[in-house]
Structure 1
């Protein structure tokens, strides 16, 4: 029996899930549901009836990304599944649909958007941009069974603890009558409804803006937009501040100065030679406040001075490109379609596993890259720039094949 199990694991390592292996995983999953997950669900007020209805006849979905099969150790995936962490230039391809869709809905939902701005201080165009990006304004097909996705990932993903909290929260939602079992459809990552909230986010941030007695992020536009705004406010959205400004960064300013922990007054950035594209000065109230350098493709793309509100947008999705997409789309919804002045270079084509190898190389020489996860976040970008400067190179602040080979 043990020999056949090892053989089955070998097939999984090679990328093929055999029926024998899948059957074993099914058995382990069912045992885990009853002996491990059920006691915690019960302790959180979930009835046995709700629990059994959620998982009746369920098997783990072994086709989901970022799973760790029994007998394996976690590994950095070779390919990047999330567009938010891929090629910067290609990420903005769908922005036209979001901005045109946002503008067409701005008038249609003007009263709701005005109420949101008054209550939460979040500009309506920001809520519209998130709604459009997350679910195509409610038109996107969301095909997965949320309990299947969340339970599979709680059982065998690279982030078990996080998904364990989410599956318990999903059960609590149904137990409290906040959602019907039929409504619990999700993305491959377990996100629900038109704003694509994880279950804990629903419990913490969803609001009943239309006054029908319960928050409904599946069918109610006011509840969807209000919940998005409430989410942002709860994470610290500052009323009256912009999200950021596209800028020109002279060669004298190092791209290694990027990051939310290296802020300074926007007037100080301006004194260093950073200027807004188009020649406009920074608004006076912004110039007196703190800003942060953002260069999501290093020297191979547009640059920005962003405000704390940019990092609130990142709470919705931990990607610089996502937050930048939302801010830019909101600007276009409000002021018309204008592309960035800076152009995206041909960067971002590396395998995720190659970026992770580069990150491990930087860690070996003492850099904090934010973890060797294969995702080129700001800590990785600025570490690359600092290493390049210390080694007599022109700082690009973005991974490339040459750096991978040199630092692997």
Structure 2
């Protein structure tokens, strides 16, 4: 066979041909790029048209049934187009794609969540505002039973005490997600209808509905359904304003926590030491016991302080977010109320620690976060599914080691003659499978 020619005369492209025809291929690449640029506006216009049709034929009947007027509906979506830069979207007619290969470890150590560069601004900012708004916070605590330092910590964590810019139009974000979200599309539809209800009831004008990229409103970062349930007018001006009114913002956060069961007069929890004789598998809000009884097991507050007398007979719960590889806590029901604001254990701990620092100065957890993490969430999910097949309740095979997963790990380790750590690692993932 001659270079590039088959015996039948058919031409093939050889390595040398590629160099000889590089100019031609470059031309093709440039042409393809031009076509993509020209096609992008056309594709966006097509999605815009599908979005407008969806608004009128799908969303409008639902909104009308919920008491939304045509005037409100039209005002809310006047000039609104899908924001295709938002994450987790799937175009009409397409199916969500799942990456086959994960290039980065998706689950890391909890340590960075409590980095001083994040904690310090919340604590120092909270202390400054504790004095500035002392009277307002006192009235809020009297009415709702939630300590001012907790309210301040939430405010600081959510929007940096109002410094975070909310530059998105809520109807653009929620409309896009209700139409194109790859996950939770029904949830965003519910939130979109709730946003329309806010305007319909005269609580906020359309132009004031500014949100985060996820559709959360105002300085407390309430989703629209939460706004309708928990936002309050505390400054008495006749308007519920969680964007610009500090009293409304603070009282709305407190009302949210009170509505979810904040127990007046109780702390959120205490960092403790847990003896090796106490199993880490005792963790969880469904395995509570009197705090005095935890003390009888040898669990003690760090620093040698006794538990407050008012807490001794009340129920507390063991909480070890990194198993034996990090700080341990005895938490109260109020810890789980904080999780209603954000379902993460680490978020609730961040709020509790920040509140303590606002009230008492520069406090930090005494125990370090160990060398944990570095696993893919898919690895943890596979381990969770394997534990489920063995009869363990891991809560959900979502790739995140919540308390049910952690204690199931501990129970499996104990049953199989291993030291209970109650936290996944590479060896454990392989062993459980």
| Shared fold (TM-score, shorter chain, > 0.5) | yes
Name which of 348, 362, 376 aligns with 1:351.
376
Name which of 66, 71, 74 aligns with 2:94.
71
Partner of 2:164: 140
Asked if the contact 1:127/1:229 (under 8 Å) is kept, the reply is yes
What TM-score do you get using the length of structure 1 for normalisation? 0.89
**151-160 or 223-232: bigger deviation:** 151-160
CA distance, structure 1, for counterparts of residue 394 and residue 164 of structure 2: 35
**Which runs of structure 2 are paired with 1:299-338 in the superposition (5 Å)?**
299-338=324-363
Asked if the contact 1:76/1:373 (under 8 Å) is kept, the reply is no
Partner of 1:38: 60
Partner of 1:100: 124
Partner of 1:53: 75
Name which of 216, 219, 224 aligns with 2:241.
216
| 1:372/1:74 CA distance change after superposition, 3 Å | farther
Counterpart secondary structure, 1:293 = strand
RMSD: 2.3
CA distance, structure 1, for counterparts of residue 100 and residue 139 of structure 2: 44
Counterpart secondary structure, 1:278 = helix
**Which runs of structure 2 are paired with 1:91-130 in the superposition (5 Å)?**
91-93=113-115, 94-130=118-154
In the TM superposition, what is the alpha-carbon distance from 1:21 to its structure 2 partner? Answer: 6.4
1:42-61 deviations in Å (ceiling 9; x for gaps): 11121222222222343333
Counterpart secondary structure, 2:303 = coil
**309-318 or 71-80: bigger deviation:** 71-80
Which runs of no fewer than 5 residues in structure 1 stay unpaired?
Answer: 1-17
Partner of 1:364: 389
| 1:285/1:163 CA distance change after superposition, 3 Å | same
CA distance, structure 2, for counterparts of residue 237 and residue 45 of structure 1: 33
In the TM superposition, what is the alpha-carbon distance from 1:27 to its structure 2 partner? Answer: 4.3
In the TM superposition, what is the alpha-carbon distance from 1:314 to its structure 2 partner? Answer: 0.6
1:195-243 deviations in Å (ceiling 9; x for gaps): 1111111111111110000111000000000011111110001100000
CA distance, structure 1, for counterparts of residue 391 and residue 281 of structure 2: 15
Matched, 1:398 2:418: no
Name which of 10, 20, 29 aligns with 2:51.
29
| 1:79/1:137 CA distance change after superposition, 3 Å | farther
Which runs of no fewer than 5 residues in structure 2 stay unpaired?
Answer: 1-38
| 1:47/1:235 CA distance change after superposition, 3 Å | same
CA distance, structure 1, for counterparts of residue 271 and residue 244 of structure 2: 36
CA distance, structure 1, for counterparts of residue 399 and residue 48 of structure 2: 30
Work out which of the two has the higher radius of gyration on C-alpha atoms and give 1 or 2.
Answer: 2
| 1:78/1:31 CA distance change after superposition, 3 Å | farther
Name which of 270, 288, 311 aligns with 2:295.
270
